[in-house]
Amino acid sequence: MIIPKASKLDSKQIKEIEKIVSEFDCNILEIQGHNQCVYAILGDETHALMFKRIAGLSYIRKVDAIESPYKLMDRRSALSDHQVQVGISTVGKDSPFIIGGPCTIDPNEPRLYIDTAHALKEAGVNALRGGVWKPRTNPYSYQGDNKAIEIIIQAREETGLPIDVEVMDSEQLTIAMEAQVDILQVGTRNALNYSLLKEIGKLSAGTGSGVLLKRGRHVASPNEFIAAAEYLVAEGNPNVMLCPRGTTPALDGYRNHPDESITPLLKNRTWAPVVVDPSHSVGHAEYVLACSLSAIAYGADGLCIESHIDPARGIGDDPKQAITPKRMKELIASCREIWAHRYQVKD
């Protein structure tokens, strides 16, 4: 990875570097960080001579060769001080970054979504979630509706909060990008869909939008999870948040196997913020608080929580796992206490 002295290379400098790397069958890719651009070397970047020639250029600060399956996501990479910005929040900076909202937006009941959005703003969330298109295990269950994107856009306009929407294919991605969705969510079922990850990384590069990458239900190791995120960053979007959301159930009673304890393992290996989803991890509204507190205690930077003003009237997962905005407010206060304690202990 190439790190220039200035915040960015100019076009003449890019041309000069491209000429050098092309002699070694490599190419470069610009990755726009918050304050600084870095340039990944694509191809076999083990050529010492190539490194030396680039490092010798007067406008280059350094050239890093990280031996890692995820050299951009690695803690030691030049992106290690990259911070993910969503709306006015820097994820994980001063308090837990909270995404809240229904599992699924009911296109026939827009008021329920809008009222939930206002109540959640009042409760203190930093971003709104809402499923426009749904990956459903049962093919006969509600699959989503393009109309719902208008409802979540309206909620963003009325509350001023950024929005998080899951996309599963190119068509949905195009609609979400046109709507300037602030966080593109990749669900557990697509967590290892490398073509989709590449497409999202490429199309969202330089737009400032974040990507919430859920952990695959069957993803075994932290490294496999981080390597999936590498696909997004390697295509040019470093605004990645890693989202553990439970894996294949081992405990009879939870929907999935809660995996918030993976957080410190991820944080030791990568710079990316971890935003845990307690709702899908446990699958029952009554256990969401405990899982959230545990996630923050383990070092999570934020939470993505299903919440609905009237869960019984919701669709998708809402009747069983959404918490009310009132509970959300209490949850945020408790999480902040643990967060503050965590920082005291650290200091």
Residues lying near ligand PEP in the complex (CB under 6 A): 103, 131, 135, 166, 187-188, 214, 245, 277, 280
The token pair at 250 is 């081992």
Compute the distance between CA of residue 139 and CA of residue 181 in angstroms, rounded to an integer: 26
Per-residue CA distances from 213 to 19, 234, 285 (Å): 35, 14, 22
Return the number of the residue (77 or 321) whose C-beta is nearest ligand PEP: 321
Between residues 32 and 321, which has the closer beta carbon with respect to ligand PEP? 321
Residue placing its CB nearer to ligand PEP in the complex, 186 or 233 = 186
214 touches, from Mn ion, ligand PEP, none (C-beta below 5 to 8 Å by class): ligand PEP
> CA-CA distance, 46 to 100, in Å (whole number)?
44
Q: How near is the Cβ of 192 to ligand PEP at its closest, in Å? A: 12
Closest to 185 (Cα-Cα) out of 173, 167, 197: 167
Q: Residue 45 binds which one of Mn ion, ligand PEP, none, with CB within 5 to 8 A depending on kind?
A: none
With beta carbons less than 8 A apart as the criterion, state whether 265 and 302 touch.
no
Secondary element (H or E) of residue 30: strand 27-32
Residue nearer to ligand PEP on the CB measure, 9 or 322? 322
The two structure tokens encoding residue 7:
């915040």
Measured from each CB, the residue nearest to ligand PEP is 187
Instruction: List interacting residues with Mn ion (CB under 5 A).
Output: 103, 317
For ligand PEP, the closer of residues 103 and 228 by Cβ is: 103
Q: Which residue type occupies 121? A: K
Q: 157: which residues sit within 8 A by CB, 6+ positions away?
A: none
Min dist CB 134 to ligand PEP, Å, is 6
Whose Cβ is closer to ligand PEP: residue 217's or residue 267's?
217
User: What are the C-alpha distances in Å from 229 to residues 113, 239, 285?
Assistant: 30, 10, 29
Shortest Å, Cβ 185 to ligand PEP: 6
Cβ at position 308, least distance to Mn ion in Å: 11
- Give backbone dihedrals phi and psi of 235, rounded to 5 degrees, phi first: -95, 0
Per partner kind, with CB cut-offs from 5 to 8 A, the member of Mn ion, ligand PEP, none near residue 135 is ligand PEP
Quick one: what does residue 269 bind among ligand PEP, Mn ion, none, with the CB cut-off 5 to 8 Å set by partner type?
A: none
